[in-house]
Amino acid sequence: MTKMYSTLPRQYYTSEQIFREETQRIFYERWLCVGRVEQIPNPGDYFVQQVGLESLIIVRTRAGEIRAHYNVCRHRGARLCSHNSQGHVRDSLQCPYHAWTYNLDGQLIGAPHMNEVPGFKKEDYPLHSAHVYTWEGFIFINLASEPQPFDDLFARLSEKFAAWNIAKLRSARRIDYQVQANWKLLVENYSECYHCPLVHPALSKLSHYMSGENDFEKGVFLGGYMELNQGSMTLDGATCATPLGDVGGEDLNRVYYYMLFPNLLLSLHPDYVMFHTLWPQSSGETHIVCEWLFDPEVMVQPDFDAAPAVEFWDMTNREDWHVCEITQAGVSSRVYTPGPAYVGQEDLIVAFDQEVLKALGHHSLN
Amino acid sequence: MTKMYSTLPRQYYTSEQIFREETQRIFYERWLCVGRVEQIPNPGDYFVQQVGLESLIIVRTRAGEIRAHYNVCRHRGARLCSHNSQGHVRDSLQCPYHAWTYNLDGQLIGAPHMNEVPGFKKEDYPLHSAHVYTWEGFIFINLASEPQPFDDLFARLSEKFAAWNIAKLRSARRIDYQVQANWKLLVENYSECYHCPLVHPALSKLSHYMSGENDFEKGVFLGGYMELNQGSMTLDGATCATPLGDVGGEDLNRVYYYMLFPNLLLSLHPDYVMFHTLWPQSSGETHIVCEWLFDPEVMVQPDFDAAPAVEFWDMTNREDWHVCEITQAGVSSRVYTPGPAYVGQEDLIVAFDQEVLKALGHHSLN
Amino acid sequence: MTKMYSTLPRQYYTSEQIFREETQRIFYERWLCVGRVEQIPNPGDYFVQQVGLESLIIVRTRAGEIRAHYNVCRHRGARLCSHNSQGHVRDSLQCPYHAWTYNLDGQLIGAPHMNEVPGFKKEDYPLHSAHVYTWEGFIFINLASEPQPFDDLFARLSEKFAAWNIAKLRSARRIDYQVQANWKLLVENYSECYHCPLVHPALSKLSHYMSGENDFEKGVFLGGYMELNQGSMTLDGATCATPLGDVGGEDLNRVYYYMLFPNLLLSLHPDYVMFHTLWPQSSGETHIVCEWLFDPEVMVQPDFDAAPAVEFWDMTNREDWHVCEITQAGVSSRVYTPGPAYVGQEDLIVAFDQEVLKALGHHSLN
């Protein structure tokens, strides 16, 4: 009998034990997109990002660099900044408990009375930090002690998106979603359009589910394009803006969809870029952030309106979350075994699943 | 010292481990009452029933038979029907994700593009199904692969209730309850009236707690009758209708209470039949459905009113749930050990507990 | 390198396993303050106190003694009294399920029909009880079978507080708090004022954080005093009443803060006594009761107002709960390791932590 491919076994979507392994081996070891550099344009600007059970302060230093510090005072462990907060500090982060104070580089610069404690030296207690890398205006962090360099992993990307000039874009809108589904079901859903005819009637009018081609089919960067029947992916099919940067030729009739393993979904349209970041909360729940990026020069024009793009995708997102949620509910059944995949549409899923297994150090299944 | 009987040890009411064993060995292996055939009178009518962690679609086929399919698509595992939904489909059940389609017998009849996948055959992917049996208008399902035949277990019942003509009855009212107590405490509560004087003042006026006799005292079918001082169990003690079917003689002054192991409580009054089905949610929580069945010919009469029966038992049910909930709270104490049972009133409890232990393959305790 | 002291490792604040050990070895074995004798002045008065997973009925008997009975009927285990209830019964506690009845000493005095059960003797089924001790108007209970005598442990206290005449005082106000922090973080917070300048600006105006001295620095009774700049700890710094009992001399300018291991925090002011009792709910959650005691002769005076004291400490309590909650959040981080303690201010913390480890039978850490 011919070998048929299928998705991961039940426990990969339902087991809290495997979820903990994923947290350790994937979310605490791989490069995670946490947002855009424009969120913290000035020294002292910061935001707090939860990663698994950890809380990180992403802050721009006096020197203009972006750092990611663990949100944990070195004295008694108190949070320096509130959960999910964002804001601005002048020069330092002060613990609200005993006033231990750190500069924006994370060095301990104030610890009341501790000079009276024999053996105490401030330089022994900097904030713990994670690695930071910026690419095309996206901020990536990595909690591993010695992460594989971002460029080694994503070198193939460097020229791929030059025409869109993503670094220059700015966010017009952010929507947060809480979805009752495993994060991998969400990536798998993003990776195929076999479901589009039934799930996305509006999208199916703008882009045929059998159109397009994948160009990256293996590894930590997966995706391809689909063809546009109309100007862009919007409520009425018209573009919201003139084409981005140097986008032209066949790219004017395409939407590119890519997954940067493990948590960034990047969707390039002629006139805007959409991205999702995924934040697993448990084996059955994921927090998703979706943002829409436009050319800032276009955004200041009086007739600019992002709504047709935002509302189109907000509707489409919710259609996807729903089918992911009913799949999450179903795969927990004792009788569930993964069914055969439709190769030609579902093959990126198989590639993604392999990448997950590889990261976990588990055996390949197919 | 004389041997005294008592209820089960603490862990049988509080341990999630034993609860999982019960789910596997009892609720996934025994015949469960899921409702009445009248709920799905026509081909294409269906309802969804949760059993433990499983979801089943109970549907009437084109041929008029009742089937129970697991609510899990054979492709990616999505739910075909919504949680706890009911409704009507024409000829088929279609998965809302990728449009795989099954006929009402569960056979896969549509799977877009899968004919392109070498080796794929639709006949390999029918819906998983459970066994179905109907008795006196009740639908029973069984999730075991080879269940013991219903008739072997409940043969003694066949003539017992002929006079009530239960198959002909129809539901006048359904009430759902969520109770913070182990399902066995609820069965135990149903099995004795030693608690009636204090817990049920209204019921005690209609039926003396020391009256009646048990006729099935061992096995999967337990119960007996109590004597009625008045016409029926209603708010004012009057009957809501003329006697059912051929009910006559001493049965006009009796209420029969039976437990069909594990989840059906069946209460026969002269003028109506009440039944409860029990759906354990965890070691400390149970979902209960209570319905009241009347003669459909009586129900269409202009002066028919089920309220006196429904309201009487709704009040009585809530009195019972309360004492079960305070018992659930108390048995979790370190100092709790089962006290002596009042033999003569609490002996059906001992019989039920034995049946539970037997089903679990645990040693008998008494 | 000089030895530096620090607080307990992460797992002592976050592990449910250690929390269960603490419940068993500390809260089920040590003397716990449950309130004041004045809460149940008359025979038949009672209140219900949750301790870990147990529920106790604290009741005054006909003979005027205080008893603590497990809230668990000896028949089927039902709760005799509602969760967290308080009230008055005449002579007995009756189980609401089957009417088994106990006198206030806990003896079974009624069990309907059980005389028909061969071998049954009422004297075999008294309520289970815990030990009770009263000290200075406080009620302490102990769930151990053979507890160490209260006086052996707290003998040093007998004369310490004679001047305040605490036994005579009465509660003017009770406030309950639910705090998302481990109970030990709350004790540790109470044990130092290193945090006061930043966390408690109002308190810091009334009492300098470096003032005072500890007098009990080791064992189950820890604490000392701080100096008052003004009359008392109130919103305006003025006293609410004339000095308590025989309080005079330097005590007029001091607040004494003591911890009676494990759950009582006792704060003596010139004009009132405040106490907190701590009730751990999980490794990360604690229920706290705070009460303010005044001289009953003062309380009846028309111009008496407890609000300046109550509102001052309610504000200060909430400031403390907040920093404990952000510390609870932070210590769960993988990168958290206990930082060095500021000896001179944080040394009572080290002593308390040692007492916890000793009670658990764990090795000392410092």
CB-CB neighbors (< 8 A) of A340 in chain B: 75, 114, 117, 120
**Cβ of A274: how many Cβ atoms within 10 Å?**
22
Helices and strands in chain A, H and E counts: 9, 17
| Chosen from A189, A327, A328, A349 to mutate, greatest number of chain B CBs within 10 A | A327
CATH topology of domain A32-146: Rieske Iron-sulfur Protein (2.102.10)
Identify any residues that bridge with A179 across adjacent strands, giving them in sequence order: A286
CB-CB neighbors (< 8 A) of B108 in chain A: none
Rg (CA), chain A: 22
CB contact under 8 A, A96 and C338: no
pTM over 0.90, yes/no:
yes
CB contact under 8 A, B340 and C114: yes
CB contact under 8 A, B70 and A333: yes
Residues of A with CB under 8 A from a CB of B: 1-4, 7, 10, 194-195, 197-199, 323, 326-327, 329-336, 338-345
Preceding peptide of B96 cis, ω within 30°: no
pLDDT tier for residue A203 given thresholds of 50, 70 and 90: very high
**Spatial separation of the C-alpha atoms in residues A207 and B182, rounded to whole Å:** 53
Q: Is 80 exceeded by the pLDDT of residue A142?
A: yes
Mean pLDDT of A320-324: 98
Q: Is 70 exceeded by the pLDDT of residue B153?
A: yes
| Chosen from A23, A76, A97 to mutate, greatest number of chain C CBs within 10 A | A76
Task: Give the sheet arrangement for strand B285-294, strand by strand.
Answer: B170-179, B285-294, B273-282, B264-268, B254-260, B221-227, B213-216
Burial class (CB in 10 A: 0-12, 13-18, 19+), C163: middle
Instruction: State the pLDDT at residue C142.
Output: 98
| Chosen from C23, C98, C127, C129 to mutate, greatest number of chain B CBs within 10 A | C98
Summarize pLDDT for A224-259 with one digit per residue, the tens: 999 999 999 999 999 999 999 999 999 999 999 999
Summarize pLDDT for B50-74 with one digit per residue, the tens: 999 999 999 999 999 999 999 999 9
Containing B292, the helix (H) or strand (E) segment is strand B285-294
CATH superfamily of C165-360: Naphthalene 1,2-dioxygenase Alpha Subunit; Chain A, domain 1 (3.90.380.10)
3-state secondary structure of B244: coil
Q: Which of C98, C117, C120 sits opposite B195 (nearest CB)?
A: C98
Q: Which of B250-264, C54-68, C144-158 has the lowest mean pLDDT?
A: C144-158
Q: Is A40 left (phi over 0), alpha (psi -120 to 50) or beta?
A: beta
State the smallest CA–CA distance between residue C316 and chain B in angstroms: 36
3-state secondary structure of A101: strand
**Spatial separation of the C-alpha atoms in residues A140 and A59, rounded to whole Å:** 13
CB contact under 8 A, A326 and B118: no
pLDDT above 90 covers what percent of chain B? 89
Chain A nearest-CA residue for B74:
A339
CB contact under 8 A, B76 and A327: yes
Mean pLDDT of B126-131: 98
pLDDT tier for residue B1 given thresholds of 50, 70 and 90: very low
State the smallest CA–CA distance between residue C115 and chain B in angstroms: 9
**Which residues are within 8 A (CB) of A303 and not within 5 positions of it... i.e. 6 or more apart?**
none
CB contact under 8 A, A198 and B79: no
Mean pLDDT of C278-306: 97
Fold equal for C32-146 and C165-360 = no
What would the 3-class secondary structure string for chain C be? CCCCCECCCCHHHHCHHHHHHHHHHHHCCCCEEEEEHHHCCCCCEEEEEEECCEEEEEEECCCCCEEEEECCCCCCCCCCCCCCCEEECCCEEECCCCCCEEECCCCEEECCCHHHCCCCCHHHCCCCEEEEEEECCEEEEECCCCCCCHHHHHHHHCCCCHHHCHHHCEEEEEEEEEECCCHHHHHHHHCCCCCHHHHCHHHHHHCCCCCCEEEECCCCEEEEEEECCCCCCCCCCCCCCCCCCCCCHHHHHEEEEEEECCCEEEEECCCCEEEEEEEEEECCEEEEEEEEEECHHHHCCCCCCCHHHHHHHHHHHHHHHHHHHHHHHHHCCCCCCCCECCCCCCHHHHHHHHHHHHHHCCCCCC
Average pLDDT for chain A: 95
Q: Is 60 exceeded by the pLDDT of residue B2?
A: no
Q: Which of A104-113, B184-193, C263-272, C343-352 has the lowest mean pLDDT?
A: C343-352
Half-sphere exposure at residue B52, Cβ-oriented, CA atoms within 13 angstroms: 21
Mean pLDDT of A189-204: 96
Q: Is 50 exceeded by the pLDDT of residue C1?
A: no
State the smallest CA–CA distance between residue A236 and chain C in angstroms: 47
Q: Which of B3, B327, B341 sits opposite C77 (nearest CB)?
A: B327
CB contact under 8 A, C326 and A96: yes
Burial B183-219 (b: 16+ CB within 10 A, else e): bbbbbbbbbbbbbbbbbbeebeebbebeebebebeee
Q: Is 80 exceeded by the pLDDT of residue A264?
A: yes
**Spatial separation of the C-alpha atoms in residues B47 and B58, rounded to whole Å:** 5
Q: Is 60 exceeded by the pLDDT of residue B366?
A: no
Q: Which of A77, A112, A113 sits opposite C330 (nearest CB)?
A: A77
Q: Which of A214-218, B116-120, C38-42 has the lowest mean pLDDT?
A: A214-218
**Cβ of B88: how many Cβ atoms within 10 Å?**
12
CB contact under 8 A, C331 and A79: no
State the smallest CA–CA distance between residue C195 and chain A in angstroms: 5
CB-CB neighbors (< 8 A) of B336 in chain C: 72, 77
CB A337 within 8 A of CB A11: no
Between chain B and chain C, the number of residue pairs with CB atoms below 8 A apart is: 92
CATH superfamily of B168-360: Naphthalene 1,2-dioxygenase Alpha Subunit; Chain A, domain 1 (3.90.380.10)
Instruction: State the pLDDT at residue A1.
Output: 42
**Spatial separation of the C-alpha atoms in residues B291 and B273, rounded to whole Å:** 8
The torsion angle over the Cα atoms of residues B49, B50, B56 and B62, rounded to 10 degrees, is: 0
Instruction: State the pLDDT at residue B76.
Output: 96
| Residue A324 DSSP code | H
- Structural domain boundaries in chain C: 32-146, 165-360
Burial B130-154 (b: 16+ CB within 10 A, else e): bbbbebbbbbbbbbeeebeebeebb
CB contact under 8 A, C329 and A54: no
Between chain A and chain C, the number of residue pairs with CB atoms below 8 A apart is: 91
CB contact under 8 A, A76 and C327: yes
State the smallest CA–CA distance between residue C73 and chain B in angstroms: 8
Assigned token pair, B259: 């437990």
Mean pLDDT of B199-222: 92
CB contact under 8 A, B113 and A1: no
Average pLDDT for chain B: 95
**Cβ of C35: how many Cβ atoms within 10 Å?**
22
Average pLDDT for chain C: 95
pLDDT tier for residue A347 given thresholds of 50, 70 and 90: confident
Q: Which of A20-34, B253-267, B331-345, C85-99 has the lowest mean pLDDT?
A: B331-345
Q: Give the C-alpha distances (Å, rounded to integers) separating B147 from B26, B151, C330.
A: 11, 11, 53
| Chosen from A11, A210, A333, A350 to mutate, greatest number of chain B CBs within 10 A | A333
CB contact under 8 A, C335 and A119: no
**Spatial separation of the C-alpha atoms in residues A354 and C113, rounded to whole Å:** 69
Q: Is 70 exceeded by the pLDDT of residue A2?
A: no
Closest CA to C212 of C192, C197, C232: C192
Instruction: State the pLDDT at residue C4.
Output: 79
CB contact under 8 A, B333 and C55: yes
Assigned token pair, A315: 């509707």
**Cβ of A83: how many Cβ atoms within 10 Å?**
11
Rg (CA), chain C: 22
**Which residues are within 8 A (CB) of A146 and not within 5 positions of it... i.e. 6 or more apart?**
none
Q: Is 70 exceeded by the pLDDT of residue A3?
A: no
**Spatial separation of the C-alpha atoms in residues B243 and B232, rounded to whole Å:** 10
Between chain A and chain B, the number of residue pairs with CB atoms below 8 A apart is: 92
Instruction: State the pLDDT at residue B365.
Output: 62
Q: Is 80 exceeded by the pLDDT of residue C156?
A: no
Instruction: State the pLDDT at residue C217.
Output: 85
Instruction: State the pLDDT at residue B358.
Output: 96
Chain B nearest-CA residue for C28:
B334
Q: Which of B98, B114, B128 sits opposite A335 (nearest CB)?
A: B128
**Spatial separation of the C-alpha atoms in residues B160 and B153, rounded to whole Å:** 14
